[in-house]
Amino acid sequence: MKGKRFYVFVLLAAFAVSMFPQPAKAEETNFNYVDAFAKSILFYEANWCGPDAGNNRIKWRGPCHCDDGKDVGLDLTGGFHDCGDHVKFGLPQCASASTLGWAYYEFSDVFIEKGQDGYMLNILKHFCDYFIKCFPNKTTFYYQCGDGDVDHQYWGPPELQTYDRPTYYAATPENPGSDVAGDAAAALALMYVNYKDRDSEYAEKCLTYAKDLYDFGMKYRGNSKAQSYYLPRTYLDELMWGSIWLYVATNDQKYMDNVEKLMVEKGITGGNSFNDNWTQCWDYVLTGVFTKLATLSTNPLYKAIAEDHLDYWQNSLKSTPGGLKYLDSWGVCKYPAAESMVQLVYYKYTGDKSCLDFAKSQINYILGDNPNNMSYEVGFGDNYPKYPHHRAASGVLEGPPADEKKELPERHILYGALVGGADMNDEYHDNVNEYVYSETGLDYNAGFVGALAGMSKYFGEGQMPEETPGIELMPSQYYSEAKLYKSNTEGVTVDLNLYNIVTSPPQYEKGLSCKFFVDLSEYAEEGINPSKFTTKVYYSPAGAAISSIQPFDKEKNIYYVEITFPDSALYARTYVQFCIYNYESKLWDSKNDLSTADLTDEYIKTGDIPIYKDGAKVYGNEPDGGEEDILYGDLNNDKQVDSIDFALLKKYLLNNQQEGISLKNADINKDGEIDALDFAKLKLYLLKSITF
């Protein structure tokens, strides 16, 4: 009898195991899915908008668009930039937030186990904080900040974008936006479910706003607008989506009843079925609707539609030669990525292994198992896109004052961004201008995060995220690049590019200058006074000024001209064409001049045209002799005066700790003592109350 009971127990245990999907064995994995998963979340920190941008892991971002909403008398800062641009479009923002919330709802255990829960919840809260700001009363929902036509004319860091951004669209009873209201309500309801055990007060606030937004969208019907960029088809699926998550959050049957009513409006009722042949994206959440209804509703029609959809993607939708499911020519990879999330959610509830196999095949293709042997997730693996179409990651500023070109190497790695990817023929063009291939976006990554969470759950046992070098604070880079435009016995004309690469975060800098050194020994031998020289700026978009010839070491006949920018703040690249001439004599010889000796008619990087910030040298070489430059306040000798120096001086005054401190630079008031007076003066300088 005991043996029989033991046999029955073994059968029951085996049956129970078969009911719940199990993690794959380590040898079945092809990639570090957990690393891909963690990086896919990081992308959203790069697209963060508002005064708190940069207050996360990515330190090459900083405050931006801090006046959003000013034109309507509100604070509408926050939210996220849409793609590689800086507009906050309504529908993709709301849809992405809801899909990310769904991903966390389904796979929260993975987010927690792999240490990603704090990051993801912070991102979801930033979305929801923004939605709450945008809904100041029960009949107004602001959903677009920025003019897409104007915004797309700008290529540069968001921190440097200065135009007055209009609050372009608001949903009202007269101009409804049921789609954005439904998606935002779903996102807020999901935030309640995902956050109630961490901060019940904030979760309840989200639920209240979710209900009100949903009621607003249900009462005043119509589609949102987005200029020519995001043109919605219908709003019924978004209202269903909001209904489902409010039902999950409240268990109030009225929301499920509303789903049925909306299905009738959609024509899906009785004997009328529906072919769901698209997938979850910015303008289509029906796939999510049917996937959830397959487990929430007792109506067999919904399960039939959901499973027909899964089968269509697995067996009927065309594929590229390399095996990627091909739904649309724009954003090719985002659709199979989102569909992989859907299939993994269904696998979670049913154990249908065909769903798991489908997701693995598609995610493996995206991560590198493809004819190009490259990852379409930026920063993942050894071979990935280097030119995603993304202004913040590029860091390049087209137009004045920098006049750079977006085709330059990008200054930052846009970790985790899913690019549009390969085309129908598995070809990929790593070109910032070919944005059908290189575009990134909130919508691209939303389903991708969920898919990678599922892959990490089922194939990521023992895996952990890897390093992401380059997201931390980076010191400013200064250097000079120059060439000879003209050189003869009368003098020299020089083309100069002065670079100040300030990326943590991007910002314009004032107080920059450079010096160009010449040896006038040939003129001294003839008794010619340096005052006889002419100096002139021929061209400078930044309004450069040039000094007359100045002495550096009279005994050695070493002189210089100083180029300054009295009315301009500079970023990245500043071009100047200037000349030094003596038209009365034919003695000029560039070979003995420090700054000219190595120049040719091709640009070269040179250390012999030093750069100064507020009078202190930050780059390059000076001739032997002359006075030593001291940057007072720069205690750690990093050529900058900042909060780190302030902390070092405080530590020295409190504890007399001298390690890592230049005491010479600490004597800020130059009285021979390092004391509270220096501390006070440094504080005033950092508060921009004084200059040194």
**If you write DSSP's letter for every residue of 30-87 in order, what string do you get?**
-S-HHHHHHHHHHHHHHTB-BTTTTSSS-TT---B-TTTTGGGTS----SB--SSS--
Residue 579 CB neighbour total at 10 angstroms: 18
- Which residues are CB-contacts of 585 (< 8 A; sequence separation ≥ 6)? 490, 523, 526, 528, 532
Given the residues 71, 113, 199, 430, the one annotated as active site: 430
Distance CA 3, CA 430 (A): 65
Distance CA 32, CA 459 (A): 9
The pLDDT value recorded for residue 9 is 38
Distance CA 194, CA 640 (A): 44
The pLDDT value recorded for residue 8 is 38
Distance CA 454, CA 340 (A): 9
Distance CA 250, CA 150 (A): 42
484: exposed, middle or buried (Cβ count in 10 Å: 0-12, 13-18, 19+): middle
117: exposed, middle or buried (Cβ count in 10 Å: 0-12, 13-18, 19+): middle
Distance CA 162, CA 68 (A): 11
Distance CA 166, CA 178 (A): 22
Q: Tens of pLDDT along 102-113?
A: 999 999 999 999
Whose tokens are 């040898």? That residue is: 27
Q: Tens of pLDDT along 488-513?
A: 999 999 999 999 999 989 999 999 99
Asked if 523 contacts 619 with a C-beta cutoff of 8 angstroms, the reply is: no
558: exposed, middle or buried (Cβ count in 10 Å: 0-12, 13-18, 19+): buried
The domains located in the chain, with CATH, are 2-459 (1.50.10.10), 477-619 (2.60.40.710), 630-692 (1.10.1330.10)
Per the omega criterion (within 30 degrees of 0), is the bond before 505 cis? Answer: yes
CA atoms 445, 448, 452, 453: torsion sign: positive
The pLDDT value recorded for residue 29 is 56
The pLDDT value recorded for residue 631 is 84
The pLDDT value recorded for residue 11 is 39
DSSP tag of 228: B
The pLDDT value recorded for residue 175 is 98
Distance CA 157, CA 507 (A): 9
Q: In the annotation, is 430 catalytic? A: yes
Q: In the annotation, is 28 catalytic? A: no
Given the residues 86, 389, 390, 412, the one annotated as active site: 389
Q: Which residues pair with 486 in a beta bridge?
A: 493
Q: Where are the alpha helices (DSSP H) in 494-615?
A: 521-524
The pLDDT value recorded for residue 13 is 42
Structure tokens at 163: 């135009």
Q: Which of 190, 206, 270, 279 is nearest to 237 (CA)?
A: 279
The pLDDT value recorded for residue 674 is 83
Given the residues 45, 68, 151, 439, the one annotated as active site: 439
Residue 236 CB neighbour total at 10 angstroms: 20
Residue type, 76: L
Q: In the annotation, is 129 catalytic? A: no
CA distances from 518 to 478, 514, 544 (A): 22, 13, 20
Whose tokens are 């064995």? That residue is: 25
Q: How long is the chain? A: 692
Distance CA 664, CA 678 (A): 12
Which residues in the chain show pLDDT less than 70?
A: 1-20, 22-29, 625-629, 656, 658-659, 672
- Which residues are CB-contacts of 627 (< 8 A; sequence separation ≥ 6)? none
Distance CA 527, CA 510 (A): 39
Q: In the annotation, is 439 catalytic? A: yes
Given the residues 35, 45, 68, 85, the one annotated as active site: 85
